[in-house]
Structure 1
Amino acid sequence: MGCFLIQIFVPFASAAGMTTCTVNSETCDDYSSGHDETANQQDWVEGVYIFDLESTSSLQVQLTWAIREFNRSVLGFDDPTINAALAADGLDAQDGAPADLIRSYFDEETAGPGTPTVGQKLKIEVNNAVEEALQSGFGSVSSITTDYVSTYTEASITTDCSVDPSTDSLSEGASENNAFEPPICFTTTATVQLSHSSFNLIPNPELDLERAYQGLLVMGTKVTTNFELTAQPGHKATFAINPPAYATIDDVDSNGTKVAYAGPPSFWAGLWSMDNRAAPIGGSSIDQPISMTLAHRDSVQTPTVVIDPNEKALDIKLTLDVSDESSATLDFVVALHYLDNQTLEDWGLSMVAAGDHAEVPVITSDGIRLAYHNGLVDLSGVADQFPIGSIADGISSAIEGMDPIQMNQMYWVSDSVSD
């Protein structure tokens, strides 16, 4: 409950600015509902969110908010006397506290002695709202800091911001008679610990997600990653997501756009915009699932794997030893160099939680080792694809007088000439 102590001398809106500010010995611009771009909401907030994917486990977030109007109840502007003053200034129940009003009471305590001031309370509310949005859409927030800033930049346009009540009105030198201008701005920096499920590799105790993810991308794999963005009622938000240093964004969903960066090496980022300023009375947040497909960022230091179509994928050696007529032996050795996507599909091998979330053009022998040691593939599934029984039967029938050859199960060796 607000505890501001004011006396109302003029029951109607003043031509010299908002009465609610004047009685607190401050000067505001005139309030006009025509300036309010969130007519049905108490919040009017525009924000730019920049997400830097550092790795598969960590996301660095830097965002800036420009606040032109904010929920007046949480800032203490809900005292009956205050409400009467605001009504006299032309505000109704759907109107929040304009930026000029917030500045005029910036250092006033919101609920009596010892409680946060309006400026402190606004900062707390912004910090909590950002943390909640990040946790609902990305993962657990391990650190977060919020503070006031003097500028807000969106689409290369920079807007001046202010918390100074002595310079914000037209009579004090401001450029326009608008109680919502200039905005009050914040920047928030946060670190988010990401959920492994966002990256769609098969979860298991052996998985080193970052190493496996980088290795698969180097081999040309493209993996789709999913997050969820949120825009609260009265908010307009722009979200930019930058991939890790070893990746580029190959594709985004239909709601997003790709943005090119020169590097070096060059890469693509993703951009999404959400506008919930027209939310109706009682409206809810917009929760928008997004997806982006990450690919390897090709560089001189770490080039993306390219397989020559003429290069052999398998090297098969059959050795039949009949020197001992009573006990002929047959060695069947396969040296595996790579498997292409068609072979992987035919053999039913997948390293992702859902097949439609990844495109694996090829997996090299290094990749197979990586996948095996990270619990992404069962090597017995590869060995089972070779019809050793049929091979043995064919050789037995081709050599007159030879008894049927009994083959052991295939097993993996570190040297193709071993055993």
Structure 2
Amino acid sequence: MEEQQELKRDLKNRHVQLIAIGGTIGTGLFLGSGKAIEKAGPSILLVYLIIGISLFFVMRALGELLLSNAGYQSFTDFAAVYIGPWAGYITGWTYWFCWIMTAMADIIAVGLYVRYWFDIPQWVPAIICLIILLGLNLLTVKLFGELEFWFSLIKVITIIALIVIGIILLVIGFKTDTGTVSVTNLWEHGGFFPNGFTGFLFAFQMVVFSFVGVELVGVSAAETANPKKNIPSAINKIPIRILLFYVGAIFIILCIKPWTELSATSSPFVQIFALVGIPIAAALINFVVLTSAASAGNSGLFSTSRILFNLSNNKQAAKPLGKLNKNAVPSNALFLSAIVVSIGALLSYAIPDSAFSIVTTISAICFIWVWSIILISHIRYKKIRPDLHRNSIFKAPLTPFINYAVLTLFVAVLVIMFIAEETRTALLLTPVWFIVLIITYSIRKRK
């Protein structure tokens, strides 16, 4: 009998902590926040807060489930145990698809950022970035951890710098071309809900996309040294990160520049640093958001390859996808994921104006499925294995009430996506993916 290959537990605590940050700070915040601000105005702060708090409870449920069994390598494992094999199969492949879509959005964003300096087609830097990331991921998981550590550190330093500069400008009452830096900018340009309740609701899709990757700490569990210590530590720091990196950063941006003056087509971070008048600041921040998109794409390739590896080991994907190279990296799975992600470059060539919106919407919908499966698995886990919950070292709070409340919110977000014309097409296309999975699962089950 052939021995199953195993991933190495080479990710240290600092890697896990920064992966948890890097997974959530990416293209959705640096680029997508401009689109979200355009829809909701200052009320975008509430949207970030609502989604952020909801996902903290999803992560607590994920943490308890992962630590309830040392054999769980991903949420596909406990989905299969507590909901059924079909849930493990559909969720595993959907999570792969989630990150494929997200990685597509990231390389499309790389193309947009490079155009800040060079007038070249978007798809060219997108493909170059993908090839570089593939080469780096084929090395060791420790290198992936190091890359994400430094990529995430750059993002964290940038946001903290923005917040510190913003606070100084607020205190001194700095004057810009668009007015005085002031908290009053949050309500003086049409009120806190300038586009009404409708605009507030329509911002939820892009904010959901901003948070994709928050569960990446769960995917890295199989390669984490001392998961019982590192996973709870990373999850418990999520609320602080949400308040600082999302609500804090957007609050400062809206105080520095009225929401009406921000462009939806470029990064608000680049616009703010350009406005402040710091020499080469705009170009420097554009480089930062470029590395951020590359970092998110890097996370995308990492997670998709590990999901395929896990699916293969569970006999839910082709056997070659479960092979590891000499560095204990699932190279076949990496190559397949990279080939599919390259379609994003083709989309940026074929439909440059709408490619980003389409892939982010599909990604958000699929992530809602994955997060919902985590919550439903936790409800079932408490019912089927009350003994495990009773003895858990990391109990999820307010369950099962909070699970049902967050699931209701997710359903509401899907309804909003159907109502909004911009996201309706992608929402109606996404079920095709689930129909394909149901058919392939039925065929595999019959065999």
TM-score normalised to structure 2 length: 0.21
Structure having the higher Rg: 1
If the length of structure 1 is used for normalisation, what is the TM-score? 0.22
- Structure having the higher strand fraction is 1
